[in-house]
């Protein structure tokens, strides 16, 4: 177990620090599962720093307060180069003529945190708070996979590192998409999303937010001495901590200014948002002489980039209906270039937002790339109003089907509650057929549109009764493409069960959860009949996801849908020997003796449902021997070969995840 733990930690460093993984994700998962199993079978050898212990414990009721051993300061901000020149002059004065070198680092737009390691083990993590006291967010930080739970190498006994927790842009986009679909207000930018996520009391939810972190400074040093900042960054990396990419040493302010200019164009390539650059004195042993004001050090300064914005005309506001019926207002803009790309549509989030900013159709509006990626209307040039601009109100009826719209309790979004709404159905079918789901080639938006408008299918199961003649009758669909589509539909019947589960489009059930659920329950039947606590027993499935799943299967029409999908020949169980991602994949079990809760056959099929296999004789390759009452020679052989033995209770624990 110790070897596995340090191997997994090593692979983490190779992956996150060096971006040079030696093994595939699959092999990594196999190591991880092996460790999980050993820990399950030998609970007395548990280790709180084990890489399997990232997500744990019950939700907190509130955050404990932590006093920082060294206050967390912030930096003074500047917006133009002349202020940086002033900063340099002042600093040279303080250093009495010595020549400062600088390190220029991207300014990561996230949330400042301080992590304390004691004897290499991560002990307490806190937010900045007021600089003296912050929230204890240890359980949340532990869910961030790039943050080591144990430091590597030989760090001092106490080490406090400071850095930034951020939400990578791809996690941000995914989260906001899910929030819109769920009728929740999207986050305005990745920084708010990171801050909002760190404030969650349930670490299981935090684990799904895809947060990340980088480090750039020390709190309590524990006696670690580094002459320069560049050296500090090297040491942090040696300990297994990630530093800010792109940090560059510059000999004097002229070089620093040139580097800041270059960073401005490089920053779009970083996986996080940057709102500027930080310029720090490289010589750490001069920090004390440079000193600090009550708020910020005099040896570092932040230079902020102006966000790129453009002005254009808001031609119209249209309303989109999402897969779950949420209505989203969309700004239709006179095309304009922002940060290098042409923008003609932008999200307006919801009606309250439009009201708050007093955005009217016909206005000259300012467009920014929030999170530098997704364009948003951030304000109105009211001085340019001519009087003909129109106040926008959300429709009372769904623009797609005319059904009345309503606001659910606790949600800001309006929804079309008509389960037969064609706009929702179109989105649903497109999702069902998409590459990550059932992967039905040829079933794109244009075809789905015609199928729904022609009332040829009322749900995904209906797709499977479409025949070639009907499909060939659709616009721009020849005999050949109709035949291809029928063939594609046909082969989609063989897709693994987890894909079908994802394709059903149950709210909050992404690919990852679908895989976990399929592996755990083994069949759609089992999942459909599970109650909330059984669903929540699956690792990484939190209460919100569990609620959504149980709610979905409580609907008679969804149960009916599942029955029809099964009748159409789709895979509704995890199949033995498939390349399915069951948690017991690659594991061989030998059953011996009598079990009180199962027959042998039942036990075998449970193992197979989770991706494992059973064999009749014990060898060195056997992963586990399950020993019931009056187990005989197989048990002896297992002991001789050192094969782990599970009693019935341990076996049941293993099956239930």
Nearer to ligand IVH, 302 or 549 (CB): 302
Max CA-CA distance within the chain? 92
Minimum Å distance from CB 278 to ligand IVH?
4
Residue 261 near residue 80 (C-beta atoms within 8 A): no
| Number of chain residues interacting with ligand IVH (CB under 6 A) | 15
Contact between 75 and ligand IVH (CB under 6 A)? yes
Nearer to ligand IVH, 278 or 518 (CB): 278
Query: Is 458 considered catalytic here?
Result: no
Minimum Å distance from CB 217 to ligand IVH?
5
Residues making up the chain, counted from first to last: 657
Contacts of ligand IVH in 275-294 (CB under 6 A)? 278
DSSP string, 175-221: HHHHHHHTTPPPPSSHHHHHHHHHT-S-HHHHHTT--EEEEEEESS-
Contacts of ligand IVH in 242-261 (CB under 6 A)? 244
Contact between 217 and ligand IVH (CB under 6 A)? yes
Minimum Å distance from CB 564 to ligand IVH?
53
Nearer to ligand IVH, 74 or 170 (CB): 74
Q: Give the residue at shortest CB distance from ligand IVH.
A: 112
Q: Which stretch binds ligand IVH (CB under 6 A): 67-75, 181-189, 313-321, 524-532?
A: 67-75
Contact between 74 and ligand IVH (CB under 6 A)? yes
- End-to-end CA, the chain: 19
Cα distances from 401 to residues 316, 357, 398, 472, 475, in angstroms, run: 20, 29, 6, 27, 22
Q: Which stretch binds ligand IVH (CB under 6 A): 107-115, 227-235, 404-412, 547-555?
A: 107-115
Among 207, 232, 302, 546, binds ligand IVH (CB under 6 A): 302
Nearer to ligand IVH, 110 or 460 (CB): 110
Among 11, 13, 107, 587, binds ligand IVH (CB under 6 A): 107
- Compute the distance between CA of residue 372 and CA of residue 343 in angstroms, rounded to an integer: 12
Minimum Å distance from CB 76 to ligand IVH?
8
Minimum Å distance from CB 64 to ligand IVH?
21
Contact between 191 and ligand IVH (CB under 6 A)? no
Show the site string, 77-106: x = touches ligand IVH by CB under 6 A, - = not: ----------------------------x-
DSSP string, 53-84: GSS-SPPPSSPPEEE-SS------EE-SHHHH
23-38 in b/e burial notation, b at 16+ Cβ within 10 A? eeeeebeebebbbbbe
Contact between 112 and ligand IVH (CB under 6 A)? yes
DSSP string, 335-374: EEEETTEEEEEEE---HHHHHHTT-EET-EEEEEEETTTE
95 CB-side CA count, 13 A = 20
Selection from 399, 467, 455 nearest residue 425 by Cα: 455
Minimum Å distance from CB 251 to ligand IVH?
19
Among 102, 117, 215, 216, binds ligand IVH (CB under 6 A): 216
Contact between 164 and ligand IVH (CB under 6 A)? yes
Nearer to ligand IVH, 70 or 537 (CB): 70
Cα distances from 216 to residues 76, 78, 223, 641, in angstroms, run: 17, 20, 17, 49
- Compute the distance between CA of residue 326 and CA of residue 301 in angstroms, rounded to an integer: 44
Nearer to ligand IVH, 113 or 654 (CB): 113
Q: Which stretch binds ligand IVH (CB under 6 A): 30-38, 68-76, 201-209, 498-506?
A: 68-76
Category of 324 on φ-ψ map: left (φ > 0), alpha (ψ -120 to 50) or beta: alpha
Query: Which listed residue (107, 280, 369, 426) is catalytic?
Result: 107
Contact between 108 and ligand IVH (CB under 6 A)? yes
Contact between 69 and ligand IVH (CB under 6 A)? no
Contact between 353 and ligand IVH (CB under 6 A)? no
194-228 in b/e burial notation, b at 16+ Cβ within 10 A? bbebbebebbbbbbbbbbbbbbbbbbbbeebebeb
Minimum Å distance from CB 297 to ligand IVH?
5
Minimum Å distance from CB 77 to ligand IVH?
6
Contact between 624 and ligand IVH (CB under 6 A)? no
With a CB cutoff of 8 Å and minimum separation 6, the contacts of 121 are 48, 49, 149, 150, 151
Nearer to ligand IVH, 248 or 492 (CB): 248
Contact between 236 and ligand IVH (CB under 6 A)? no
Contact between 297 and ligand IVH (CB under 6 A)? yes
Rg for the chain (alpha carbons), in Å? 29
Minimum Å distance from CB 304 to ligand IVH?
9
Contact between 318 and ligand IVH (CB under 6 A)? no
Minimum Å distance from CB 188 to ligand IVH?
18
Nearer to ligand IVH, 198 or 398 (CB): 198
Nearer to ligand IVH, 148 or 297 (CB): 297
- Compute the distance between CA of residue 92 and CA of residue 31 in angstroms, rounded to an integer: 53
Q: Which stretch binds ligand IVH (CB under 6 A): 82-90, 297-305, 631-639, 646-654?
A: 297-305
Selection from 285, 303, 304 nearest residue 85 by Cα: 303
Minimum Å distance from CB 367 to ligand IVH?
26
* Pair of tokens at residue 447: 């075809």
With a CB cutoff of 8 Å and minimum separation 6, the contacts of 414 are 326, 327, 350, 351, 394, 405, 406, 407
The CB density around residue 19, as the number of other CB atoms within 10 Å, is: 8
Nearer to ligand IVH, 151 or 244 (CB): 244
Q: Which stretch binds ligand IVH (CB under 6 A): 69-77, 323-331, 490-498, 548-556?
A: 69-77
* Pair of tokens at residue 379: 């304000």
Contact between 337 and ligand IVH (CB under 6 A)? no
553-586 in b/e burial notation, b at 16+ Cβ within 10 A? beeeebeebbebbbeeebbbbbbbeeebbbbbbe
Binding residues (CB under 6 A) for ligand IVH: these are 73-75, 105, 107-108, 112, 164, 216-217, 244, 278, 297, 300, 302
Active site residues per annotation: 107
């Amino acid at each position: 177990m110790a070897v596995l733990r340090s191997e997994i930690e090593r692979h983490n460093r190779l992956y996150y620090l060096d971006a040079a993984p030696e093994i595939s994700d699959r092999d990594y998962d196999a190591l991880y599962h092996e460790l999980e199993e050993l820990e399950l079978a030998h609970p007395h050898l548990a280790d709180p720093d084990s890489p399997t212990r990232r997500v744990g414990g019950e939700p907190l009721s509130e955050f404990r307060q932590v006093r920082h051993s060294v206050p967390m300061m912030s930096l003074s901000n500047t917006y133009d180069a002349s202020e940086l020149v002033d900063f340099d002059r002042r600093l040279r004065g303080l250093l009495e003529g010595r020549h400062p070198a600088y390190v220029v680092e991207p300014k990561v737009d996230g949330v400042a945190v301080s992590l304390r390691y004691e004897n290499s083990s991560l002990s307490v993590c806190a937010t900045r708070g007021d600089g003296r006291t912050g929230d204890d967010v240890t359980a949340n930080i532990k869910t961030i996979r790039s943050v080591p739970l144990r430091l590597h190498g030989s760090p001092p006994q106490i080490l406090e590192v400071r850095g930034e927790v951020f939400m990578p842009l791809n996690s941000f986009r995914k989260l906001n998409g899910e929030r819109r679909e769920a009728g929740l207000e999207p986050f305005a930018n990745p920084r708010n999303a990171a801050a909002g996520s760190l404030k969650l009391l349930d670490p299981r939810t935090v684990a799904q937010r895809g947060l990340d972190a980088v480090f750039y400074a020390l709190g309590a040093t524990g006696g670690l001495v580094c002459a320069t900042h560049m050296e500090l960054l090297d040491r942090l990396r040696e300990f297994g901590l990630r530093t800010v990419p792109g940090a560059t040493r510059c000999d004097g302010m002229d070089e620093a200014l040139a580097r800041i200019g270059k960073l401005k164009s490089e920053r779009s390539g970083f996986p996080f948002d940057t709102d500027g650059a930080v310029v720090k004195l490289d010589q750490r042993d001069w920090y004390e002489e440079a000193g600090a004001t009550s708020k910020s050090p005099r040896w570092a300064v932040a230079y902020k980039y102006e966000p790129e914005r453009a002005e254009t005309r808001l031609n119209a506001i249209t309303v989109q209906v999402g897969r779950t019926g949420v209505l989203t207002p969309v700004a239709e803009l006179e095309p304009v270039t922002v940060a290098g790309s042409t923008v003609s549509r932008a999200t307006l989030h919801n009606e309250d937002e439009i009201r708050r900013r007093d955005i009217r159709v016909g206005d000259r509006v300012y467009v920014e790339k929030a999170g530098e990626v997704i364009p948003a209307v951030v304000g109105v040039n009211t001085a340019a109003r001519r009087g003909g601009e129109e106040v926008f109100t959300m429709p009372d009826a769904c623009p797609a089907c005319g059904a009345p719209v309503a606001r659910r309790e606790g949600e800001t979004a309006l929804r079309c509650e008509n389960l037969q709404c064609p706009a929702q159905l179109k989105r649903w079918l497109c999702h069902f057929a998409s590459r990550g789901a059932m992967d039905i080639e040829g079933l794109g938006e244009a075809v789905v549109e015609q199928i729904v408008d022609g009332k040829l299918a009322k749900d995904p199961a209906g797709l499977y009764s479409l025949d070639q003649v009907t499909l060939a009758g659709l616009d721009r669909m020849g005999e050949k493409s109709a035949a291809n589509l029928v063939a594609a539909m046909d082969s989609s019947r063989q897709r693994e069960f987890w894909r079908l589960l994802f394709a059903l489009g149950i709210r909050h059930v992404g690919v990852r959860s679908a895989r976990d659920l399929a592996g755990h329950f083994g069949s759609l039947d089992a999942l459909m009949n599970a109650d909330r606590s059984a669903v929540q027993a699956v690792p990484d499935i939190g209460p919100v996801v569990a609620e959504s799943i149980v709610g979905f299967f409580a609907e008679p029409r969804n149960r009916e849908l599942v029955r029809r999908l099964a009748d159409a020949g789709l895979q509704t169980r995890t199949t033995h020997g498939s390349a399915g991602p069951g948690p017991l994949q690659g594991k061989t079990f030998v059953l011996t003796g009598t079990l009180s809760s199962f027959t042998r056959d039942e036990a075998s099929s449970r193992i197979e449902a989770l991706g494992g296999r059973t064999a009749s004789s014990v060898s060195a390759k056997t992963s586990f021997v399950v020993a019931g009452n009056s187990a005989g020679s197989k048990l002896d052989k297992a002991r001789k070969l050192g094969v782990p033995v599970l009693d019935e209770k341990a076996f049941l624990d293993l099956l239930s995840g």
